[in-house]
């Protein structure tokens, strides 16, 4: 059976499964829409959390970034993994014990202020839309290649599918859909990794294969061979980094702390019956997440080895089929700088920006690029880093069913997180703004309708951001983590662990942290010439991906200073904080 037919079958079956589950578990009440009725088993919730957590950034982009950044890319692994542990230990059980639906609910009640609740909603919407832009771009890339449409049409198809099961099913539908999506995405990630590890090293365990010898008779280890290959082409060694220590620290810390402030992950801990189950589901989720995260460095190294060997110094006329396939979708391109008909990979950009084709073909049949060619380096190949995991099975010449499986897995990863984020946005609008702030007398039916309308509007905005994203998938997602670290995390942390923090301090801190971080990221990613986005121009040498740590420090300082200058919280807030921190117990600390 042809690979394309297999792709249609695999993707079609997985979509039918997701939509079927969404219809079967359709939410009938606001509690089911927001927190799946609060009765989800910890193991099931752990699997759903893992799917929610492992987005297109984890599945598609992280290994791609590591493949091209090498050691520098490990900040994504360290930050996201460590951050999940931090969330599970520091925040999740306490928030679950508090017993509300959402993060703005916690902030609004803990800081006894609808203004604080509204500021939290604004922070949450900034974070979620930044994050979801990466997911929709991931969806667009998968569809563009495997359904043979352009990226824009791919995003639109993805929007339609997310609409069906997120808007209909709510959290109840999403929870059980995400369990299925986790099974699909982890199987799709591990199968090609095992195949490729066997082919390159003879070891079926990718994590061990990364430290094994290449079975080509050279007597070299995988990383040793990769270092040699890259250095021969003018790149730095895969195992050495170029980022400064402060930037590595700040990006890792921003990703860790941002994880602990991510609203779509936190809300998952409200779906289990009691506080002790929140810890259990966090532990299960960590196990499910570790399966992919420990495999990613091996996938990155194998993909880069195969990529280099597959096309470097190969004539375009003899280029492998996978190169032509991805070239059609403008996600890889070649420009013949020296007119020798041979593709050459080297350090630097082949031309300015992503490929813009003239619609014509050159003498050798390649797509003619209208971009300005960069002449100060020898590199002739442009590759979108987000394609590496998807292209990996094709590059390694694996069977068609493995390629089809990876297509289904990539979509599962992107759609599961997109759905969780859309739910958070819709809940923030319907529950936190309408029900709790502006229209407390709204009926349950009206609130549910508002949630679905908000999710619909969010899908449209998310689709636009997916078509015009401000960076690679993992980079866009890193910005969301920075915003979460700078805005929500300090307010949540101090809300649990400091009785003295009052509403004025929390509000001022969130506003300053969010504004500083957002302006810094927007300035370097959207306003200045890309050539200016360098360590020499960054504040303290900290990149936009890591600036959330500075925003967080500003948040804490402003919040503490303002709280000392204003009146202390009322006595009932002291009692509320004390009850949240009681270590054992399943009941809700507070309800309203």
pLDDT digits (tens, 9 = 90+) for 368-378: 888 888 888 88
Q: Give the closest residue to 264 by CA, choosing from 395, 391, 113, 422.
A: 422
The more confidently predicted of residues 4 and 548 is 548
Q: What is the structure's pLDDT at 310?
A: 80
Asked whether the predicted pLDDT for residue 201 surpasses 50, the reply is yes
Confidence band (pLDDT; 50, 70, 90) for 537? confident
Asked whether the predicted pLDDT for residue 512 surpasses 90, the reply is yes
DSSP secondary-structure letter at 268?
Answer: G
Asked whether the predicted pLDDT for residue 25 surpasses 70, the reply is no
Mean pLDDT (whole number) for 399-423: 78
Q: What is the structure's pLDDT at 124?
A: 82
Q: For residue range 214-234, list pLDDT tens digits in order.
A: 888 888 898 998 888 888 888
Q: What is the structure's pLDDT at 556?
A: 96
Half-sphere exposure of 384 (CA within 13 A, CB side): 27
Confidence band (pLDDT; 50, 70, 90) for 237? confident
> CATH 1.20.1730.10 region(s) of the chain?
3-303+398-580
Phi, psi of 212 (to 5 degrees): -100, 175
Q: What is the structure's pLDDT at 473?
A: 53
Q: What is the structure's pLDDT at 178?
A: 77
Class of domain 3-303+398-580: mainly alpha
Q: What is the structure's pLDDT at 378?
A: 84
Mean pLDDT (whole number) for 291-296: 90
Sign of CA dihedral 345, 349, 355, 361: negative
Q: Which of 90-99, 148-157, 460-469, 572-581 has the lowest mean pLDDT?
A: 90-99
- Integer Cα distance of 405 and 410 in angstroms: 9
The three-state secondary structure class of 484 is helix
Residues 6+ apart with CB under 8 A from 468: none
Identify the H or E element spanning 310.
helix 296-311
What does pLDDT average to over the chain?
80
Cβ distance 503 to 272 under 8 Å? no
Asked whether the predicted pLDDT for residue 107 surpasses 60, the reply is yes
The three-state secondary structure class of 355 is coil
CA angle, 414 as apex, 79 and 463 as ends, to 5°? Answer: 110
Percent of the chain topping pLDDT 70? 87
Q: Which of 424-433, 464-473, 501-510, 573-582 has the lowest mean pLDDT?
A: 464-473
Q: What is the structure's pLDDT at 37?
A: 45
- Integer Cα distance of 105 and 116 in angstroms: 10
Q: Give the closest residue to 548 by CA, choosing from 480, 486, 471, 474.
A: 486
313 conformational bin, left if phi > 0, alpha if psi -120 to 50, beta if neither: left
| DSSP E strands, 56-132 | none
Confidence band (pLDDT; 50, 70, 90) for 198? very high
- Integer Cα distance of 238 and 73 in angstroms: 10
Q: What is the structure's pLDDT at 555?
A: 95
Identify the H or E element spanning 497.
helix 473-497
Residues 6+ apart with CB under 8 A from 212: 201, 202, 203, 221, 222
The more confidently predicted of residues 508 and 236 is 508
Cβ distance 154 to 8 under 8 Å? no
- Integer Cα distance of 135 and 138 in angstroms: 5
CA angle, 198 as apex, 196 and 202 as ends, to 5°? Answer: 145
Asked whether the predicted pLDDT for residue 57 surpasses 90, the reply is no
Q: What is the structure's pLDDT at 197?
A: 93
The three-state secondary structure class of 64 is helix
- Integer Cα distance of 216 and 332 in angstroms: 28
Asked whether the predicted pLDDT for residue 271 surpasses 80, the reply is no
Calculate the alpha carbon distances from 43 to 97, 287, 288, 314, 394 in Å: 19, 10, 10, 49, 34
Q: For residue range 417-464, list pLDDT tens digits in order.
A: 777 777 777 777 777 777 766 777 777 778 777 877 877 887 888 788
> How large is the angle between the packed helices 168-201 and 400-427, nearest 10 degrees?
150
CA angle, 577 as apex, 572 and 582 as ends, to 5°? Answer: 125
Polymer length of the chain: 592
- Integer Cα distance of 17 and 269 in angstroms: 25
First to last CA, the chain: 59
- Integer Cα distance of 524 and 530 in angstroms: 8
Tracing tokens 């689709």 back to the chain, one arrives at 463
Q: What is the structure's pLDDT at 569?
A: 87
Cβ distance 173 to 469 under 8 Å? no
Confidence band (pLDDT; 50, 70, 90) for 587? very low
Q: Give the closest residue to 79 by CA, choosing from 311, 276, 199, 256.
A: 256
Q: What is the structure's pLDDT at 590?
A: 45
- Integer Cα distance of 257 and 245 in angstroms: 18
Half-sphere exposure of 387 (CA within 13 A, CB side): 23
């Amino acid at each position: 059976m042809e690979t394309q037919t297999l792709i249609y079958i695999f993707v079609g079956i997985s979509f039918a499964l997701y939509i079927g589950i969404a219809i079967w578990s359709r939410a009938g009440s606001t509690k089911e829409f927001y927190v799946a009725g609060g009765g989800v088993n910890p193991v099931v919730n752990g699997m759903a959390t893992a799917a929610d957590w492992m987005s297109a950034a984890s599945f598609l982009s992280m290994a791609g970034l590591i493949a091209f950044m090498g050691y520098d890319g490990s900040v994504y692994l360290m930050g996201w993994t460590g951050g999940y542990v931090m969330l599970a230990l520091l925040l999740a059980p306490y928030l679950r014990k508090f017993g509300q639906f959402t993060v703005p609910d916690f902030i609004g009640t803990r800081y006894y202020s609808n203004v604080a609740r509204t500021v939290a909603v604004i922070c949450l919407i900034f974070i979620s839309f930044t994050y979801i832009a990466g997911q929709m771009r991931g969806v667009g890339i998968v569809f563009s290649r495997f359904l043979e449409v352009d990226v824009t049409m791919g995003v639109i198809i993805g929007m339609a599918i997310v609409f069906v099961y997120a808007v209909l099913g709510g959290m109840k539908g999403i929870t059980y859909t995400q369990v299925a999506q986790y099974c699909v995405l982890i199987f799709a990630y591990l199968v090609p990794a095992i195949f490729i590890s066997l082919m390159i090293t003879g070891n079926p365990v990718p994590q061990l294969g990364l430290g094994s010898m290449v079975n080509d008779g050279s007597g070299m280890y995988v990383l040793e061979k990769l270092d040699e290959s890259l250095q021969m082409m003018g790149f730095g060694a895969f195992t050495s980094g170029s980022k400064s220590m402060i930037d590595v620290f700040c990006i890792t810390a921003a990703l860790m702390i941002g994880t602990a402030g991510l609203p779509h992950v936190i809300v998952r801990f409200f779906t289990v019956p009691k506080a002790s189950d929140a810890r259990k589901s966090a532990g299960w989720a960590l196990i499910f997440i570790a399966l992919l995260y420990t495999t990613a460095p091996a996938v990155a190294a194998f993909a880069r080895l195969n990529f280099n060997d597959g096309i470097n110094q190969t004539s375009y006329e003899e280029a492998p089929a996978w190169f032509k396939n991805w070239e059609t979708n403008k996600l890889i391109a070649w420009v013949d700088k020296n007119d020798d008909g041979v593709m050459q990979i080297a350090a630097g950009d082949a031309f300015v920006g992503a490929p813009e084709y003239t619609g014509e073909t050159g003498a050798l049949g390649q797509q003619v690029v209208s971009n300005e060619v960069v002449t100060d380096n020898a590199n002739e190949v442009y590759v979108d880093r987000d394609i590496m995991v998807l292209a990996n099975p094709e590059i390694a010449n694996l069977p068609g069913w493995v390629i089809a499986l990876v297509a289904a897995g990539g979509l599962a990863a992107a759609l599961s997180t997109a759905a969780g984020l859309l739910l958070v946005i819709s809940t923030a609008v319907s529950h936190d703004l309408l029900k709790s702030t502006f229209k407390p007398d709204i009926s349950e039916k009206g609130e549910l309708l508002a949630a679905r309308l908000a999710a619909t509007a969010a899908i449209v905005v998310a689709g636009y951001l997916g078509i015009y994203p401000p960076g690679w998938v993992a980079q866009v997602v890193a910005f969301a983590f920075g915003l979460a670290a700078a805005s929500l995390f300090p307010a949540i942390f101090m809300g649990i662990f400091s009785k003295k923090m009052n509403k004025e301090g929390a509000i001022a801190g969130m506003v300053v942290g969010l504004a500083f971080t957002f302006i810094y990221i927007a300035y370097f990613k959207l306003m200045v010439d890309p050539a200016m986005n360098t360590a020499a121009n960054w504040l303290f040498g900290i990149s936009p991906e890591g600036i959330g740590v500075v925003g967080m420090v500003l948040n804490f300082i402003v919040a503490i200073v303002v709280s000392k200058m204003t009146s202390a919280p009322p006595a009932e807030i002291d009692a509320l904080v004390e009850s949240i921190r009681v270590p054992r117990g399943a009941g809700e600390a507070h309800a309203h």
